[in-house]
A and B are shown apart, each in its own frame.
Chain A
Amino acid sequence: MLRYALGRVVQAAMVLWATYTVSFVVLYRIPGDAVLERTRYEPTDITAEQMNTLRAEYGLDQSLVSQYLHRTADVLTGDLGRSLVNGRPVVELIGEALPWTLQIAGLALVVGLFFGAGLALLANYVQAGWLRQALLSLPPLGVAVPSFWLGLVLLQIFSFRITWFPATGHGGWRTMALPAITLAIPIGAQIAQVFAKSLEQALAETYIQTARAKGLGHGRILVGHATRNATLPALTIFGLVVGDLFAGSVIIETVFSRNGIGQLTAASISAQDMPVVQGLVLLAAIVYVLVNLAVDLTYPLLDPRVARLSRPVPSGA
């Protein structure tokens, strides 16, 4: 078990380091000169001498390797550099934006999990074939709907036709409802698809037959026997779901004009503000890696067979 956990932690750290390195190479070398980039936002009467001073300040006059080492040392001490647009520390910008996004994303995750898992359980509980088909046809719809349009439709109906919720704003649960629902639908649909499938597979196992032969009711078998076994394969998509929350917040924060990580992402991409972009990429990677690590470490608790293998299996495979 310890060996398994240690292997997972090392692997997670490797992925993080690789992500940092790749993003450094892609974001800092290909776009050219960060000083020229910055001068786009400032008066253009900057002298060559001042430019060289700026270059020295950013460390751009050094070799790539030395830049990489310097920046890595900074990053390890929690300094992600400053925004090229307004000169504020990247960590500060992200720290300000994060709570807004966490509110919505957390609410969306709860809603999506509740309705997604509920739909999967219900579809496997009902006996009528047509009802089951109808329930199972909902998740493909939820996965296919463009969330930017879904947000607009919800706005149209619930803010303009019947004025239940305000269209924009930041105060209270009423402003959070529509964005959270928009974000929750694709996520809930994905959870429902995977969970319904793994429930179906679990219900086909022989231990379910045994339980049925012992005289257990349909509901007891579903909740007591199938659900726990079906949770395991469904857990693997958790990392992807969290990634979708991150990506989805870019869209819903644009649609609903809210502050947050998504808004920061869209703005920094438009402005080619590379330090902020790299900070956001690192944040996403950290979240993904931590979630997957948590899932991997929960695995053996749910299924002791995983720990007995002791050899780490490639994640997601």
Chain B
Amino acid sequence: MKPSVTEQDLALTPSPALPSGHAGTFQDDGAQPAVPAAGPRSGAPSRRRPRREHLVSAIRRLRPALRQPGLVLSVAWIIALVLAIVLPDVVSPSEPTRATARRRLAPPGPDHLFGTDQLGRDLFSRMVHGASLSLRTAVLSVLVGLVIGAFLGLLAGFLQGWVDVVIMRVMDVLLAVPSLLLALTLIAVLGGGSINIAVAVGVSGIAVCARTMRAEVIHVRQSVFIEASFVCGARRSAVLRRHVLPNSAGPVVVLAALQFGPAILAVSALSFLGFGARPPTPEWGSMVAGGRDFLATAWWLSTMPGLTILLTVLAGNRVARALNGR
């Protein structure tokens, strides 16, 4: 994962709106919005309007998005991928593991959209079925990094003292080892397989999540409404859960979205190296590896899954940037 750019970007985004100037009024801040409202705000409807007017205002609200064709295409691509995950058998023309001896290494054409492989299996069907495994692994790895990282960052930023020092020094270790090497090391310990890959890639995302969360928690902790809650006699755990967490979760969630693309790259790289799912199971990274022996004769075998990975990472990065407010 490449946190460098994202971290810097995040530093520029405004932190969640904090109530300032509420020093005198002790109000319950539990209902604070966790993420600042993004996008252009159209006038809020104060009374019921006819249906058509709703439609018009919805289109008007979408118009700025339509001015960014890249973003629209990215969202469309992600919707297509979700379809492939939810209904693989509807989308794909044949079974991913069915081999037909007569149609081996057929080039892309009307019969086989992406061609067939050395066993006569339809490449498009294999990619549709592989989407599920590749993307679920990537999402799981991001969640591992997000949940553990955010938790550690929350503890470090809120408790401070020696807890902070210990957690952040361990995070320094995680940052000192390149993420792919860290993932590989964990695979050496845990063994291969897609779940282990998800955990291994996820661990390398913990450090950046923890840093972002900690910085945000320290920022929120200094606000007046936290002080006010303590003055009111709230317990530390309650303040942490009701006030600190909702107000500091925004940036780390955006960071997690930004890590989705790199996670796909890392997961498919590990599969390419042969640490992922076992051969008959379709997976994008291992499909690229499978095409290595046919580079000169059947270009489509590695090119199609490779292009798919590229487009998915591009789409993921673009949507994440939009979430980040750009």
Contacts and interface: CB of A to CB of B under 8 A. Distances in A.
Interface stretch (B25-33, B227-235, B240-248, B261-269): B261-269
Contacts of A236: 4
Contacts of B168: 314
Contacts of B309: 146, 149
Interface string B291-326: 110011001001101110110011001100000000
B199 interface: no
A233 interface: yes
Contact of B299 (A18, A146, A156): A156
Contacts of B273: 148, 250-251, 254, 266
Contact of B295 (A152, A197, A280): A152
Interface in B245-273: 261, 265, 268-269, 272-273
A246 B175 contact: no
B87 interface: no
B178 A18 contact: no
Contact of A19 (B173, B179, B299, B313): B173
A248 B273 CA distance: 12
Given A155-B295, A243-B178, A284-B181, A146 B4 contact: no
A240 interface: yes
A285 B189 contact: no
Main secondary structure of the interface of B (DSSP, over half): helix
A272 B178 contact: no
A269 B275 contact: yes
A233 B178 contact: no
Interface string A283-301: 0110011000000000000
Given A148-B269, A148-B272, A277-B188, A140 B317 contact: yes
Given A149-B288, A149-B309, A152-B291, A289 B176 contact: yes
Given A146-B265, A146-B288, A250 B181 contact: yes
Given A149-B309, A156-B295, A194-B4, A243 B179 contact: yes
Contacts of A193: 5
Contact of B169 (A14, A146, A237, A244): A14
Nearest to B188: A269
A316 interface: yes
Contacts of A152: 288, 291-292, 295, 302, 306
Contacts of A18: 169-170, 172-173
Interface stretch (A20-28, A86-94, A111-119): A20-28
A251 B173 CA distance: 23
A43 interface: no
A221 interface: no
Which residue of A144, A280, A288 has the most chain B CB atoms within 10 A of its CB atom? A144
Interface in B12-35: none
Contacts of B2: 143, 190, 240, 244
Given A144-B261, A250-B273, A281-B181, A153 B314 contact: no
B185 interface: yes
Contact of B314 (A14, A140, A317): A140
A31 interface: yes
A265 interface: yes
B180 A26 contact: no
A288 B269 contact: no
A247 B184 CA distance: 10
Nearest to B4: A237
A145 B314 CA distance: 8
Contacts of B313: 144-146
B274 interface: yes
A285 B5 CA distance: 21
Interface string B151-183: 000000000000000001110110111111100
B173 A233 contact: no
B187 interface: yes
A153 B306 contact: yes
A146 B184 contact: no
Interface string A132-167: 000000001101111111101101100010000000
22 contacts: A23-B185, A26-B186, A140-B317, A141-B314, A144-B261, A145-B313, A146-B306, A146-B313, A148-B273, A190-B2, A233-B8, A240-B3, A243-B181, A244-B178, A247-B178, A247-B180, A250-B180, A251-B269, A251-B272, A269-B188, A280-B181, A281-B177
The 7 A-B residue pairs whose C-beta atoms are closest, nearest first, are: A149-B306, A247-B180, A243-B178, A144-B313, A237-B4, A247-B178, A160-B296
